[in-house]
Amino acid sequence: MNEMKQEKKLDIRLIAADLDGTLLNEEKEVSERNLNALYRAAERGILFVPATGRIWRGLPQALLELPFLQYAIAVNGAGVVDCKKDETLHRAEISREESVRIAEYMRSFDTYYDCYLDGKGCVEQAYYDRIDEFIRENFRAFVRSSRETVPDLVEFLKTQNGVQKLQMNFADMELRARVMEELPKKFPQVAVTTAVVNNIEVNAADGNKGDALRWLCQHLDIDLSQVAAFGDGTNDITMLQTAGVSVAMSNALPEVKAVARFETLTNEEDGVAVFLENYVL
């Protein structure tokens, strides 16, 4: 995308932006330019909604401190949250029985796996101790700060009502490719996506960003044509397909770019801000 300004701006009432690989740079920070664009949008009455695979409390502090942050699409759409009230407005979760079956499958591999439930992350102590083996360096601090440990994750899940998301992180990318192909065949009733290059994420079929965005817009009486959505990973595809204005980052996967109406610069080049400055603000 070039830096040319569009004279007639798009009619946008809500900005839905993925975080990792999209709004955040590789240091997992929100740049000054991106923050500036969000503030300018808020001044015009445009809502900003983070749409992330993270739990909402796992948002970077710079976003949590935004005075205009009201709503978040969390855990790939498994929850729509009112951040000011700390209340989950909409849920789409994997049942207890299904989450136990998937977790048993995941633990059959020698790789990191954990889950999100009730707005928190849970992992076996044995895998927490091996985070450095499987989690990329720029994400380790977040993982360590956002997980509670349990002795045995499968046994723990047997005592819960269900989970928002199960996920795996791999050191062996050939194994990841094999599991990525096999997992949807073994569990066709769930959604299997990826957010970063070495992970796999599993949500309920309706626990996706697109359905969550549609629910939130109905809740707020906002037409989907007035939504600008930004993403880079396969967990963003349903959101880009749902929003009237869909924007893929230049660093996005090819299948993400294929469904987007626009392409902007990379997350390292403040691509979200560049698009908003040129087409919205």
pLDDT in tens, 216-247: 999 999 999 999 999 999 999 999 999 999 99
Q: Please choose, from the candidates 207, 180, 216, the residue with its C-alpha nearest in 3D space to the C-alpha of residue 48.
A: 216
Give the pLDDT of residue 2: 45
Q: Indicate whether 60 and 112 sit together in one domain.
A: no
Domain range spanning residue 195? Answer: 94-204
Proportion of the chain above pLDDT 90, given as a percent:
93
pLDDT digits (tens, 9 = 90+) for 268-277: 999 999 999 9
Same domain flag for 103 and 133: yes
Q: Identify whether 5 is part of a domain.
A: no
Is the same domain home to 38 and 137?
no
Residue 90's DSSP bridge partners are 80
Of the residues 172, 204, 236, the one at which a domain ends? 204
Task: Tell me the CATH number at 65.
Answer: 3.40.50.1000
Q: Which of 169, 204, 239 is the last residue of a domain?
A: 204
Regarding whether 121 and 86 lie in a shared domain, the answer is no
Give the span between the Cα atoms of 79 and 182, in whole angstroms.
26
Give me the number of domains the chain comprises.
Answer: 2
Q: Three-state SS across the chain?
A: CCCCCCCCCCCCCEEEECHHHHHECCCCCECHHHHHHHHHHHHCCCEEEEECCCCHHHCCHHHHCCCCCCEEEEHHHCEEEECCCCEEEEECCEEHHHHHHHHHHHCCCCCEEEEEECCEEEEEHHHHCCHHHHCCHHHHHHHHHHEEEECCHHHHHCCCCEECEEEEECCCHHHHHHHHHHHHHHCCCEEEECCCCCEEEEEECCCCHHHHHHHHHHHHCCCHHHEEEEECCHHHHHHHHHCCEEEEECCCCHHHHCCCCEEECCHHHCHHHHHHHHHCC
Model pTM above 0.85: yes
Does any domain span residue 49?
Answer: yes
Confidence band of 195 (pLDDT split at 50, 70, 90):
confident
Q: Mark whether 224 and 188 lie in a shared domain.
A: no
Name the domain boundary from 204, 229, 259.
204
List pLDDT tens digits, range 113-122: 999 998 899 9
Same domain, 73 and 111: no
Average pLDDT score over residue span 134-148? 92
| Interval 128-156 mean pLDDT | 94
Please report, for the domain that includes residue 100, its CATH number: 3.30.1240.10
Nearest alpha-carbon partner for 145 in 133, 131, 162: 131
**Sheet strands side by side (includes 87-91):** 71-74, 79-82, 87-91
* Residue 8 belongs to a domain: no
Specify if 9 maps to a domain.
Answer: no
* Residue 134: per-residue pLDDT: 96
**108 and 66, same structural domain?**
no
What tens digit of pLDDT does each residue of 38-87 get? 999 999 999 999 999 999 999 999 999 999 999 999 999 999 999 999 99
In a domain, 216, yes or no: yes
pLDDT digits (tens, 9 = 90+) for 15-26: 999 999 999 999
Q: Read off the pLDDT of each residue in 145-171 and give the average, rounded to a whole number.
A: 96
Task: Read off the pLDDT of each residue in 243-256 and give the average, rounded to a whole number.
Answer: 97
- Position 118 scores a pLDDT of 87
**What integer pLDDT is reported at residue 8 of this predicted model?**
80
Confidence label for 151 from pLDDT (cuts 50, 70 and 90): very high
Residue-wise pLDDT for 173-187, tens only, equals 999 999 999 999 999
